[in-house]
């Protein structure tokens, strides 16, 4: 029984249910038919795709001040899995009209605790990612879950902190 095991087990069960339910409308192939899995918290590591199809790189564009050194770095793995293995898991939960629409939704899904915990890609400590710097060195970063409202994130372009409601 999930409640007997504690709140974390109950949350994991609930997140698994949300993720499972998100897969159902995603099979329809119509972007307006989706489950609203909007959480009240996020993993504050905002990413965007850069580069052409086939050589795209998922790069950090906003992060908490404590993680600002990650700005511009490429996400190469999540929970120890290469990003190429993570994307099909995320994509199965996303409702889009055309496969090209997946790239627009993947960054938001990656920081959604309900989705990534439900997929087994995040744990109690947070979202564990492996990043690659421009000099090709790699390092691991664990991003804790934080409340959604009024979070100050450092932006890669401006270098300044701005308050933002995620995603």
In degrees rounded to 5, what are phi and psi of residue 123?
-125, -165
Q: Are 63 and 160 in contact (CB under 8 A)?
A: no
Whether the pLDDT of residue 162 is over 70: the answer is no
Tens digit of pLDDT for each residue in 41-98?
A: 889 999 999 998 778 999 999 999 999 999 999 999 999 999 999 999 988 877 667 6
HSE-CB for 139 with a 13 A CA cutoff: 11
- Angle at alpha carbon of residue 162, lines to 160 and 165, rounded to 5°: 150
Q: What is the pTM of this model?
A: 0.78
């Amino acid at each position: 029984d999930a409640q007997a095991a504690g709140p974390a087990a109950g949350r994991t069960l609930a997140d698994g249910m949300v993720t499972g339910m998100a897969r159902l409308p995603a099979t329809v192939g119509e972007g307006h038919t989706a489950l609203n899995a909007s959480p009240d918290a996020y993993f504050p590591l905002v990413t965007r795709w850069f580069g052409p199809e086939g050589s795209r790189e998922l790069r950090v564009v906003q992060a908490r001040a404590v993680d600002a050194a990650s700005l511009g770095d490429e996400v190469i793995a999540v929970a120890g899995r290469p990003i190429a293995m993570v994307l099909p898991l995320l994509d199965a939960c996303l409702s889009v009209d055309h496969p090209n629409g997946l790239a627009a939704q993947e960054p938001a899904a990656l920081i959604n605790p309900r989705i990534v915990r439900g997929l087994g890609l995040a744990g109690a400590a947070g979202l564990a990612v492996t990043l690659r710097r421009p000099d090709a060195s790699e390092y691991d970063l664990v991003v804790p879950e934080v409340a959604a409202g009024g979070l100050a994130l450092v932006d890669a372009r401006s270098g300044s902190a701005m308050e933002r409601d995620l995603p």
